[in-house]
Amino acid sequence: MTARTAQQPQRMASPKPTDLDVHGLRASEFPWALTGDATFLNAASTGPLPHRCIEAVTEWTRLRATPQKLSDEKLFATLARSRELVARLIGASPAEIALAVNTSYGINVAALGLPLEPGDVVITPDLEFPANIYPWWAAANARQLEYRRIPLSDGVLELDDLLRAMDDHRVKCVSVSWLDSGNGARVDLDRIGNACRERGIFFVVDAIQGVGAVPLDLHQLHVDILACGAQKWLLSPWGAGFVYVRDDLVRRLDPPIVSWMAPKGTDDFRRLRDYDMTWRDDARRFEFITLPFHDFAGMNASLELFFELGPDNVANHIEGLVNDIVEWTRDRRTVKLVTPSAPERRGGIACIRPPDGEKASARLKKRGIVHSLREGNIRLSPHMYNTRADVQAALEALDSSS
């Protein structure tokens, strides 16, 4: 496997949660946040759609009702724009992006498509979200691989435990969540990627809980395949997402399941019966057509919003809000911070464990604060549309229930 040049990522600037004009953003893109009906701190479950995204999807739905108004050029230009925007956001090239309807599709591309042999070992951390468990488990059964899960330490993956497990020469693939949905912990992609490169191990990443909340530059990292749905932190419709496949790996992998547009020449609809099983040179060989064009039009609108605001500004704003939650836990002996406290080891999720999670969750619900209860932990996940007052309201509710 050819490596990219790995560099140590620079630390983000100190969080400045007031850098964004949140009130203006609410007025233009998230008007529901101004009604006071609910305080939404649950982007890690499903992100709300900006007004511009709703408008784009609505326009495309109207067009879909009158397909004579939809040209092939308009349809496929929309998908090309999606690849461009995604690539720009994650530090990749459009040729490395295959569009997909969810994260699971990308993990399955890796589990079924990577050149693994019977007896090879695949490892993931334990207690991962099922999207990063079942595809590997099923592939191990089907391909005679050995699948191992690395135990966690007090509910969080310790990087040294993973690195030790990788010393077994039979380990040929490591797959991790960049940011864990259950505890909010972020892994060091740079260190894991370098360790994989040194050992000749494929590195696969489930990035759905990170992209949109934390800056990412894959040109600076050694990642082979990265999968991400867009319905959470990217504030996009269900049915939009992508798979990144590192450029020098693309042409080594055959599509594990084959779409009719995976081969070259299939853009020319006049010659579709001139069959030729020569795969495309770029990651589009892994796309499974037909994709939901209207969902990707909506995703494009949402990604344009990120670029207007500045992805780093959005990330800094989110970090500042999460930091307020982390600081609040320091003075409360009865509340445990499950998410690592160091900024470089977390993202947009803060998981805390009060004495009675069910009671705390009920108190939050009564006050209209939308959150998640996961394994007894309260999970708060603020985004660009939240203010420090939103977070403070949640913390006050938790104070009254602890």
The number of distinct structural domains making up the chain is: 2
Distance CA 260, CA 225 (A): 22
pLDDT at 5 over 80: no
Distance CA 399, CA 402 (A): 5
Section 148-168 average pLDDT: 95
Residues in a beta bridge with 336:
353
Domain boundary among 251, 275, 307: 307
In a domain, 219, yes or no: yes
Q: For residue 249, how many C-alpha atoms fall within 13 Å in the half-sphere facing its CB?
A: 26
303 and 321 in a single domain? The answer is no
In a domain, 2, yes or no: no
What 8-state DSSP symbol labels residue 10?
P
Q: CA torsion angle for 45, 36, 315, 92 (degrees, to 10)? A: 50
273 and 287 in a single domain? The answer is yes
Q: Which range is least confidently modeled, 16-20, 204-208, 253-257, 333-337?
A: 16-20
The first and second tokens of residue 329, run together, are: 């836990």
Q: Which range is least confidently modeled, 1-5, 34-38, 209-213?
A: 1-5
| pLDDT at site 75 | 95
Q: CA torsion angle for 348, 354, 356, 358 (degrees, to 10)? A: -10
In a domain, 5, yes or no: no
CB 371 within 8 A of CB 378: yes
| pLDDT at site 18 | 54
In a domain, 49, yes or no: no
Section 114-123 average pLDDT: 98
What 8-state DSSP symbol labels residue 374?
E
Q: What is the mean pLDDT of the chain?
A: 94
195 and 213 in a single domain? The answer is yes
61 and 33 in a single domain? The answer is no
Q: Which domain holds residue 35?
A: 22-41+310-401
Global pTM value:
0.93
pLDDT tens digits, residue range 66-102? 999 999 999 999 999 999 999 999 999 999 999 999 9
343 and 295 in a single domain? The answer is no
Distance of CA 393 to the CA centre of its chain: 27
In a domain, 301, yes or no: yes
In a domain, 382, yes or no: yes
In a domain, 225, yes or no: yes
301 and 357 in a single domain? The answer is no
Length of the chain: 402
For residues 338-353, one letter each, b for 16 or more C-beta atoms within 10 angstroms of the residue's C-beta and e for the rest, the string is bbbeebebbbbbbbbb
Distance CA 280, CA 262 (A): 6
Domain boundary among 254, 281, 307: 307
CB 20 within 8 A of CB 384: yes
| pLDDT at site 3 | 40
Strands (E), 231-383: 241-245, 336-337, 350-353, 369-370, 372-374, 377-380
**CATH code at position 370:** 3.90.1150.10
pLDDT at 328 over 80: yes
pLDDT at 1 over 70: no
In percent, the amount of the chain with pLDDT more than 90 equals 91
Section 195-205 average pLDDT: 98
372 and 269 in a single domain? The answer is no
Section 25-37 average pLDDT: 93
In a domain, 8, yes or no: no
| pLDDT at site 13 | 40
Distance CA 282, CA 26 (A): 39
Give 37's pLDDT tier (boundaries 50, 70, 90).
Answer: confident
CB 337 within 8 A of CB 352: yes
Give the contacts of 46 (CB within 8 A, at least 6 positions apart).
Answer: 231, 232, 238
pLDDT at 104 over 50: yes
The first and second tokens of residue 373, run together, are: 């209860």
370 and 298 in a single domain? The answer is no
**CATH code at position 121:** 3.40.640.10
pLDDT at 62 over 90: yes
pLDDT at 119 over 60: yes
273 and 314 in a single domain? The answer is no
Give 8's pLDDT tier (boundaries 50, 70, 90).
Answer: very low
Domain boundary among 247, 278, 307: 307
Section 20-41 average pLDDT: 94
Give 12's pLDDT tier (boundaries 50, 70, 90).
Answer: very low
Among 61, 346, 308, CA closest to 178: 346
314 and 302 in a single domain? The answer is no
What 8-state DSSP symbol labels residue 46?
-
Q: Which range is least confidently modeled, 33-37, 359-363, 376-380?
A: 33-37
What 8-state DSSP symbol labels residue 156?
B
Residue 363 three-state SS: helix
pLDDT tens digits, residue range 165-190? 999 999 999 999 999 999 999 999 99
* Ordered DSSP codes for 206-230: E-TTTBTTB---GGGS--SEEEEES
- 360 exposure class (CB count in 10 Å sphere: 0-12, 13-18, 19+): buried
The first and second tokens of residue 162, run together, are: 């993973």
152 and 191 in a single domain? The answer is yes
Helical axes 134-143 vs 103-113, angle rounded to 10°: 20
Among 231, 186, 182, CA closest to 205: 186
pLDDT tens digits, residue range 264-273? 999 999 998 9
133 and 272 in a single domain? The answer is yes
Section 4-22 average pLDDT: 51
pLDDT tens digits, residue range 277-322? 999 999 999 999 999 999 999 999 999 999 999 999 999 999 999 9
